[in-house]
Chain A
Amino acid sequence: MGFLKLFSRTGAGVQRLPSGSMTVDREGNVVATTVASGYPPALLHEVAVEVLRLFREARAAQMPLSEFNLHFASLRITAREMRGGAIVFLSPKTESTTSSMN
């Protein structure tokens, strides 16, 4: 039974927050990134798609944005529009950085 228990927690873990930057094209494909290669590419693509959507919808609402910062409780996403695509910076917040960034 003890042997079987070794397998019982396979895959158990906690997803870390992405840290680094990425350049995305207008379709949301990640062109270049400094985020650790172990981070799921599908999640990075999702971030890219949402970022581009925010730029697009702001334009449609007559409020074109060139840059925005999304401040989550434990992550900051900074995005700058770049020729239809964007450059995106992902910065996890720790206790020491939270106060200075807010």
Chain B
Amino acid sequence: MEAHHKILLLDDESDVLVMYKEILSQLPSKPEIHTATTGARALALLEAEPFRLLICDLKMPKMDGLQVLSIVRRRFPELRTVVMTAMQDEEFRSRAYALGVDLFWLKPETQQNMQMFLECLESLLGRDVVGGFRGVQSKSLMDIIQMECLSQSSTLLRITHGALVGKIWIAGGELIHAEAEGAAGEMAFRRILEWRSGTFENLPAEPDHERTINKPANALLLEMAQAMDEFASPGAAGSKEVVEQRKTVWKLSVLTREGAEWVVSIPASGAAEGWGMQAGEEAARWVRQAGESCKRLSERLGAGPLSHIEGSSLERRLVLLPWEQKTFLVAWPLSTETQRMLEQTRQLVASWDS
């Protein structure tokens, strides 16, 4: 039997709930509609069963919509969220999007507006996260390069992985050059191929670019595929050690190249990893405490999730940056330009953790 998605409608006006329940039940995917008149009730329902979508009003007594969304974002990160409000206010729109809502919609007043709203909802209900490089779904970067080389094309592939950017030059189906994270040639090519996701674009070819890669593309791709297979296979303990050793060398070189004093990487659970400093655990403890303080502030003020913290002392500058499942604390010398510090930290962390 086909499972229907569940939508939770939150509004303090029960008349509105009745009306929208009726309207939303007409959506083509025939979702199950549940309703709540208070934020507390909505959170209890979300705890009790899985929902696909929350549609939330902003103006409510006791707990307003932004407070609800702030809690929902932390507790149910997979839940899609829509704000439907009559309040035409730029501050609230910005804050709602800052909280990661998928859609901010003024309560529809015309039939045409309502139809567009319903189409957006239907699309949100059906949309799934798809991995791989955007543009060619389910194809790895290796496949993309292989395709370019097999078709003997000339192009410049620009690959973006978070804050990192890499470039691969292909001329007449031959790999001729690569650049990434300050490295060039084969080393840069290997680094780029280690990235698991991102986006790519084809730029105009530069066939006259200096050649730094002389190995045939197939040989390089085969070497990379073998290295990845060995790393993934459980019996290849020796290979794993080699890969770990390479990672260590890479991390230390990134630290030196970027000019950071030290880095502490703190996973959500488990031991922290410190590079370039002794008191990694103490720093990690502060990072966790700071994270808790910021979570409390965010929820009480409705300020949205923490993006980062910048701090300074008489000796150095610090940047605390939440990054995927970890938090990084990076120390920079006082001479570092504050304007560029966040960007430098993002690049270091992306390179570090890729």
Contact between chains at B310 and A74 (CB < 8 Å): no
Contact between chains at A57 and B290 (CB < 8 Å): yes
B246 at the interface (CB under 8 A from A): no
Contact between chains at B312 and A57 (CB < 8 Å): no
A66 to B306, CA, bound (A): 20
Contact between chains at A17 and B64 (CB < 8 Å): no
Shortest CB distance B91–A (Å): 7
List chain A residues, Cβ under 8 A from B306: 70-72
Which of B114-122, B178-186, B278-286 contacts the other chain?
B278-286
Contact between chains at B304 and A15 (CB < 8 Å): no
Contact between chains at A47 and B297 (CB < 8 Å): yes
Shortest CB distance A12–B (Å): 5
Contact between chains at B318 and A63 (CB < 8 Å): yes
Query: Which A residues between 37 and 70 are near B, CB-CB below 8 angstroms?
Result: 43, 46-47, 50, 53-54, 57-58, 60-70
Which of B53-61, B127-135, B231-239 contacts the other chain?
B53-61
Proximity string of chain A (26-45) to chain B, C-beta cutoff 8 Å, 1 when within and 0 when not: 00000000000000000100
List chain B residues, Cβ under 8 A from A98: 94
List chain B residues, Cβ under 8 A from A93: 94, 98
Contact between chains at B297 and A68 (CB < 8 Å): no
List chain A residues, Cβ under 8 A from B13: 8-9
Interface on B for A, CB 8 Å cutoff? Answer: 12-13, 58-62, 64-67, 87, 90-92, 94-95, 98-100, 279, 282-283, 285-286, 289-290, 293-294, 296-298, 300-314, 318, 342
12 pairs from A and B in contact (CB 8 Å cutoff) = A9-B13, A15-B66, A46-B296, A54-B289, A61-B286, A65-B318, A68-B310, A70-B297, A73-B95, A73-B100, A74-B94, A94-B90
